[in-house]
Structure 1
């Protein structure tokens, strides 16, 4: 385990040793991966969207039993019990609350009152300035190269656009974490050179020994090339980058009418597994739809997504599930531990930055 080589606004803000974030991937970012990242000096983010309230409490307690280092929890700001879940973070002294959607200003204020760092994920410059004005401590951006739900602007354009917008709005001191396309120390060095405070990596952490994704599925990822991912809206109505599997190809070619029956079955299965009642499911759907241009048909598809991801990432059934993935899958060929990964990423980044300083005149 290496000592701190890079001090940034992210390491100062969160208390982690290295400016590397393991993103909150549903069904993947569980206690073992999060604690492995934390013990290696990075910021591990526990994914809670696919957990019930009680499962989240147990997961937080397990992470606390595995590490004394800072870690975070990713929350759905539009969930009906978001406030109660935030109370869990406060009760257990979790260091970071990250959000897939912008939390309301009053929720940001409540978390900050208790010393919790608030980091929303945003996909556009205007969203960055909005949450900064609301009091967010940092933001994470993901370029189109990233896995899961993603936009179409590459990280190399989205990152400087967000940085410039924050500067222009008077919030240039808000750290920006860059995600989408990062897998090694050269990427971290490049992100820092752009002005980011660190990088977030999802697929790279999924492909570690600390990840609980089934080994056979990991091998499926390792066999993928740079052109073996696809962005489709057919799975849940939103652009979603995943591995190009037979299931995904068939979904792409199937009509909306033929997708309804299996979609309904998976939605009911998720309802049973999560313990969410119909009233809460509808309320969450309305919250998700608010401010969105998705139709109700697309919202039903979105509710179905967790089960398709679970089938692939937990049960290892690639014939019935989908495998979210960033484009970096095409350049990853090993399964290090979190400690090995973070050590080599940070060491390489520090070396690249030293090399570049040698060229200054």
Structure 2
């Protein structure tokens, strides 16, 4: 199935596996690439050395294109950019918009730049800076998300820019892909659906916990890191929602210490990242401390399998999922179903 995305990136199918922290590692990314989609490694929860090893492992598993998600505000962001260039990674994606010079550096070395955006004005900005495409996530999506549904956000972005637009938030099957293409998108990106596959390294017990949730099984909370964050409804989330500010900050500070040790970041680097985040938005210092809390809460659930102590990011689509298919079967099924739908509509 050819679209502007497949032509731009060099993949067979317009299906993107997003760069989910603690989830999108070499096994899942390479399986997606082998199945013809675009797999994206999540580097925000990796040290530089871990990212270097993950790229090498993914390369050993597949010869097909894949991407790496970067934090543009990270203290070592430029060093990671150079790693992608030296490694010949095909795509660089970003959760926060990279600066114009970073986009230029990547593009000058043949790397496709695809930031994620949550508003038409953000898409216009990065398109003006030279981004090759954008991923636009509606409010149905998991993790950090906005309040506008994909069905409204997607057309607003399509009307605003002339570069390929990939739709995210609420997609899980061929009907969704067909709908996104009908809107004018160049493909779809999925997180929760790929998290719930055989190749996902999330513990089986945690996957089963996801499958037990219905369409009302997620909640958008600000108690994780001070920003809107869609997660599964759990006892921990309910406790966080009812906790006071002081208790939340104390827990966050302790987790920030643990995250620093895991990633190898110095206290100076964390402070510089905090100042960068504060300059780039409206975050208070308390929210910055909470932001450092997020990776460890996610790790407890998605890596350690402790659903009582961890946060489980999830899109609303979890309520429509009931299986754990292999990645190849998932992608093939989505593309085949979408093609059949579009063919039927075109001849009806």
Please report the TM-score for the alignment, with normalisation by the length of structure 2.
0.99
Assess if the C-alpha contact under 8 Å between 2:17 and 2:194 holds in 1: yes
2:249/2:289 contact within 8 Å kept: no
Match of 2:202 in 1: 213
Following superposition, the deviation at residue 110 of structure 1 comes to: 0.8
CA apart distance, 1:261: 2.0
What residue is the counterpart of 2:167 in the other structure?
Answer: 178
Q: 1:120 aligns with which of 109, 112, 115?
A: 115
Matched, 1:282 2:268: no
Identify which of 90, 96, 101 aligns with 1:101: 96
Identify the residue that residue 290 of structure 2 maps to in structure 1.
301
3-state SS of 2:308 partner: coil
1:74 aligns with 2:69: yes
Which of residues 337, 340, 343 in structure 2 aligns to 1:351? 340
Aligned to 2:328: 339
Does 1:327 find its partner at 2:322? Answer: no
What is the SS of the residue equivalent to 1:199? strand
Q: What per-residue deviation string (whole Å, max 9, x for no partner) do you get for residues 301-329 of structure 1?
A: 00110000000000000111100000000
- Give 2:82's match in structure 1, choosing from 64, 68, 87: 87
The structure 2 residue matched to 1:312, chosen from 281, 286, 301, is: 301
Q: Deviation of residue 176 (structure 1)? A: 0.2
Q: Which residue of 2 is the match for residue 228 of structure 1?
A: 217
The structural deviation recorded for 1:124 is: 0.6
Aligned counterparts of 1:255 and 1:222: Cα–Cα separation in 2: 31
Partner residue in 1 for 2:37: 42
Question: What CA deviation, in whole Å up to 9, does each residue of 1:278-305 have, x standing for no partner?
Answer: 1000001111222211111001000110
1:356 and 1:289 mapped to 2: Cα distance? Answer: 49
How far off is 1:337 after superposition?
Answer: 0.7
Residue of structure 2 equivalent to 1:169? none
* SS in structure 2 of the partner of residue 290 of structure 1: helix
1:31 alignment counterpart: 26
Residue 136 in structure 1 maps to residue 131 in structure 2:
yes
Deviates more, 1:255-264 or 1:295-304: 255-264
> How far apart, in 1, do the equivalents of 2:315 and 2:275 lie?
29
- Tell me how far apart the structure 1 counterparts of residues 261 and 65 of structure 2 sit (CA, whole Å): 33
SS of residue in 1 equivalent to 2:65: coil
Name which of 265, 268, 273 aligns with 2:257.
268
**RMSD, aligned α-carbons:** 0.6
Matched length: 348
TM-aligned CA deviation for residue 119 of structure 1: 0.3
Q: Distance in 2 between matches of 1:175 and 1:59?
A: 28
Give the drift of 1:260: 2.2
Match among 198, 201, 205 for residue 187 of structure 2: 198
User: Structure 1 stretches of 5 or more lacking a match?
Assistant: 1-5, 167-171
| Deviation for aligned residue 1:85 | 0.2
CA distance in 2, matches of 1:109, 1:70: 20
Measure the CA separation in 1 of the matches of 2:173 and 2:286: 39
Gaps of 5+ in 2: none
Aligned equivalents of 1:339, 1:242: Cα separation in 2: 26
Taking the aligned partners of 1:309 and 1:226, their CA distance within structure 2 comes to 21
- 2:178 and 2:70 mapped to 1: Cα distance? 29
Deviation track 1:250-269 (CA, whole Å, cap 9, x = no partner) reads 00011111222221111111
Secondary structure at the aligned position of 1:231 is classed as: strand
